[in-house]
Structure 1
């Protein structure tokens, strides 16, 4: 997810009623994370942050498709060969991902990790890929061929060349789990920010809600909304940082799993509600579905709300 979230700690001294706000940034899951906690002193605060970091690293060591030792990598290596037994946590995350694929009619699909990289957003593309190349690129994509066995707690990718990855919801899941852990440890308030997919709880030192700004993708240093959050989560998907242009049309890095072409119509979608993982799935799906169908999907989940911007710069908010 794109880091399009600004955390605003508003007009407060950093010590009140024998408590402090401690914030630490680090690189986890290949992205920028930031953990903020409200605690009685900085020593305890840093110990709790250490615990959250350990939890996120544990998750990364389960679900990363880039590290060869993880269970997800083992599943990918066995594609078309045999099922692979995984921890219940990995199984349940995959189950939820497949449920989201069905809800979104395939707009969300963790098997898109197998997509051939014919779209490059590093400045090296000098022409559009041919329709034939695009069609070949999605040959190994299809959530319908991910087979789960609940009794064996196994995952089987039914076709050789398939691959799954949790880049679309993994960071949101880590943010949720980090928040859950810190709450269980007794931390009264804070934020786990996973590169823009974040979960909050409690309040700032002055008792005010956390203020989370949604950046305007077309105007640097401007915001399209500021959310007041206590126990809530937010996730943003966007097309405004990684894209190419041909013939005056923008092609962004969020790919439609069905067509192999970049999603179009929306520049950014921010979804907020109880879970960063679920908000992440919704924001990704809405980017692919577009404004009309995305709004229909969102309205099925009244606990979640959204702010999005169209390619033309129009901002819409569903509360």
Structure 2
């Protein structure tokens, strides 16, 4: 049937009117939440959501799940379910599904890794901690006794009635992959909230990315461990977990020799051949377990172990500087912009010596209140005329409150507003909460070395509608520079500056 021109016009008019009444699809926005001292380290949550209210619901869901899991699995909380079971009667008791699952996973990974991953490695960790306090290396007899104790069975599980029987008094600690296990549970809780399209959770360098989101993740260089150092690799990650384990942040110093906090349960010795292992895997628990085990195993053993986990990829850095990658690692990697070699460079007349850098160390004050957000922090450098030279660090939650760090805001906000505000995540070995290291390489914001002279390091810390602290320290780089300690305040427990030669 042929339609009349009038009828066609009416149909078009109705279509246009109906289209006009359909509201445009609302775009998701990125929301960032930072905390200190969550599971003993720093915490960052990124949420892509349709509204602020939905993002905050997801934040609360994630934090509530972390609290719940910590009350079950923590070895540092004497009232946790794990601690009560650990110190309770040696009889079969019914335990929560989560604790049963984690103990089962330790049994699984102990077998898969040939004993390289073991909850009772805490026996050896305590031995080396005591050695560190006494500044005396454990004897061979002590090490042999500790290894023999590790090899004993320490619990017995009954899957039928979900009970666990404690067999001895050996100290146990649910580390290794448990942080990743908790992160995964918290991500699931957040992503289940309405209007949430993507989640990135980073607890001390263990990262999980879920949902319709791709995150650029930087892998810290284990030999250049400042927050703003160039990474050793960059990755594009979606719906995966990335975990790095390494010996470069925690350990014991005995007679001037550094010993890793990661020990080999099979020998009793600190792991020292691999200094960093980064794993990408579908399952966060697998990523965490592999990363820890790979610090203990040889690269060849690590390759064989990773092959048992579908889609797992890894990168290892050994103590002699060698880099080992799995066959599929490059599928995630983004090419890096190569920096100048660290070989000695002859400085131009009256310019900064490229072989030196200013080390800036910060320790944020620990606040024990429940769920305290991290403060806003800015670190930058100005010249003798108080003009901004280099923006070194900016850590914040909500852009609308950046004026709380008022001095930085006056100096840099216009540049920030017109520039790239994206923030990548960083995977690294876990560090203590609140402790940060930054570096100034003597370059300005354009990437050019500055002239020698007097410059002032500015450290500004503020909380939303709360306290505000501004620290300043002028340094004349035309003269010998000695290490400087800055007086702490309510937000910054300690800060120091040190002009050093690059490693």
Normalised to the residue count of structure 1, the TM-score between the two structures is 0.86
Match of 2:222 among 217, 220, 224: 217
Q: Distance in 2 between matches of 1:112 and 1:123?
A: 17
Match of 1:19 in 2: 28
Match of 1:93 in 2: 102
284 and 231 in structure 1: CA distance in 2 versus 1, 3 angstrom threshold: same
Q: Distance in 2 between matches of 1:78 and 1:289?
A: 34
CA deviations on 1:257-309 (whole Å, 9 max, x unpaired) are 12211112100001111122111101111111121211111122231000110
Q: How far apart are 1:147 and its partner, in Å?
A: 0.6
Match of 2:277 in 1: 269
Q: Distance in 2 between matches of 1:242 and 1:69?
A: 26
Match of 2:48 in 1: 38
Q: How far apart are 1:42 and its partner, in Å?
A: 2.0
1:104 paired to 2:109: no
Q: Distance in 2 between matches of 1:213 and 1:303?
A: 20
Q: How far apart are 1:121 and its partner, in Å?
A: 9.6
Match of 1:29 in 2: 39
Q: Distance in 2 between matches of 1:84 and 1:31?
A: 32
Q: How far apart are 1:244 and its partner, in Å?
A: 4.7
Match of 1:240 among 225, 229, 248: 248
Q: How far apart are 1:118 and its partner, in Å?
A: 2.6
List aligned pairs for 1:119-268, cutoff 5 A: 119-120=128-129, 124=133, 126-138=135-147, 140-142=149-151, 144-159=153-168, 161-186=169-194, 187-204=196-213, 209-220=214-225, 221-244=229-252, 250-268=258-276
189 and 296 in structure 1: CA distance in 2 versus 1, 3 angstrom threshold: same
Contact 1:121 1:244 in 2 (8 A): no
149 and 230 in structure 1: CA distance in 2 versus 1, 3 angstrom threshold: same
1:300 paired to 2:308: yes
CA deviations on 1:179-236 (whole Å, 9 max, x unpaired) are 21222224101201121111102355xxxx2101101111241212111111110111
Q: Distance in 1 between matches of 2:248 and 2:65?
A: 31
CA RMSD of aligned residues (A): 2.4
Q: Which runs of 5+ in 1 are unaligned?
A: 1-15
Q: Distance in 2 between matches of 1:224 and 1:177?
A: 29
Give the 3-state SS of the residue equivalent to 1:188 in structure 2: strand
Q: Distance in 1 between matches of 2:193 and 2:316?
A: 35
CA deviations on 1:81-103 (whole Å, 9 max, x unpaired) are 22232012211121122111111
Match of 1:4 in 2: none
- Higher mean alpha-carbon deviation, 257-266 vs 124-133, is at 124-133
300 and 249 in structure 1: CA distance in 2 versus 1, 3 angstrom threshold: farther
Match of 2:82 in 1: 72
Contact 1:121 1:253 in 2 (8 A): no
Q: Looking at CA atoms only, which structure, 1 or 2, has the larger radius of gyration? A: 2
Q: How far apart are 1:247 and its partner, in Å?
A: 8.6
Q: Distance in 2 between matches of 1:143 and 1:316?
A: 33
Give the 3-state SS of the residue equivalent to 1:295 in structure 2: helix
With a CA cutoff of 8 Å and minimum separation of 6, indicate the structure with the bigger relative contact order: 1
Equivalent pairs, count: 298
1:58 paired to 2:68: yes
